[in-house]
A = this chain, B = another copy of it.
């Protein structure tokens, strides 16, 4: 493990601080809930508050989805999950970014999502899904392999550059992948179709069919390689 100028003891201390901040924050939130509950007992929220006031277990604390990387892509995912009422916990190794977006109400913590220990602190053992939305693709293949080996059951989703990169990540153990160049191309193409006189529904249909074909071919290809016919 490359730790730069940090001594191993310092790294351990940092990991502990991160883990502690993750564990304590929900308690503070629960304390707030408890206070609200005490001051507004006559309202209809009692049932919910009672449920959330229980001692949090690991699954509750860490949420169901871990978002690794809180750049533009990770933030959009978080917004979408929040809007749909799906719990998440996000990690990013940029202090300023974490401070800014925690301030805006996002459930994001400081931590290098490329380190297994940090993912572990974020509750990887209890999470159902780990979503890689890292800005930097270096080491992503390696990381996907590592996570797959340590957590055989977790769903790994990843942002990839293109279809070839998608295939590599699927072979490394990812369950679902998104090619960012493909998605951008499909959206640009869809707009061009609409501006060429196609109605929206038809343009959308052509795009959906094309996307399905490309991703199906990709998943079939990976499946074929991992289970070649006898």
CB–CB A187/B183 < 8 A: yes
Q: In this complex, what residue of B is CB-closest to A161?
A: B72
CA distance A209 to B86 in the complex (A): 17
CB–CB B155/A195 < 8 A: yes
CB–CB B79/A210 < 8 A: yes
| Residues of chain B lying within 8 A (CB to CB) of residue A79 | 189, 210
Q: Give A13 Cβ to nearest chain B Cβ, in Å.
A: 33
State which of B64, B86, B207 has its C-beta within 8 Å of the C-beta of A80.
B207
State which of B71, B176, B189, B198 has its C-beta within 8 Å of the C-beta of A77.
B189
CB–CB A180/B189 < 8 A: no
- A210 and B83 contact, Cβ closer than 8 Å, known pairs A185-B133, A195-B155: yes
State which of B80, B191, B207 has its C-beta within 8 Å of the C-beta of A210.
B80
Copies in the complex: 2
Q: Does A6 contact B (CB under 8 A)?
A: no
Residues of chain A in range 74-118 having any CB-CB distance to chain B below 8 Å = 74-77, 79-81, 83-84, 86
Residues of chain A in range 12-45 having any CB-CB distance to chain B below 8 Å = none
CB–CB B129/A192 < 8 A: yes
Q: Give A78 Cβ to nearest chain B Cβ, in Å.
A: 8
| Residues of chain B lying within 8 A (CB to CB) of residue A196 | 64-65, 81, 84, 86, 128-129
CB–CB B185/A75 < 8 A: yes
CB–CB B185/A80 < 8 A: yes
State which of B74, B195, B210 has its C-beta within 8 Å of the C-beta of A185.
B74
CB–CB B185/A77 < 8 A: yes
Chain A interface, >50% SS class: helix
| Residues of chain B lying within 8 A (CB to CB) of residue A131 | 188, 192
CB–CB B206/A184 < 8 A: no
| Residues of chain B lying within 8 A (CB to CB) of residue A186 | 76, 80
CB–CB B192/A162 < 8 A: no
CB–CB B206/A76 < 8 A: no
CB–CB A189/B129 < 8 A: no
- A181 and B73 contact, Cβ closer than 8 Å, known pairs A80-B186, A189-B81, A191-B176: yes
Q: What are 27 A-B contacts defined by CB distance under 8 Å?
A: A65-B196, A72-B185, A76-B184, A76-B186, A76-B189, A77-B189, A77-B192, A80-B186, A80-B192, A80-B193, A80-B207, A81-B192, A84-B193, A84-B198, A84-B206, A86-B192, A86-B193, A86-B196, A128-B195, A129-B195, A155-B195, A157-B192, A176-B191, A178-B191, A180-B180, A180-B181, A183-B184
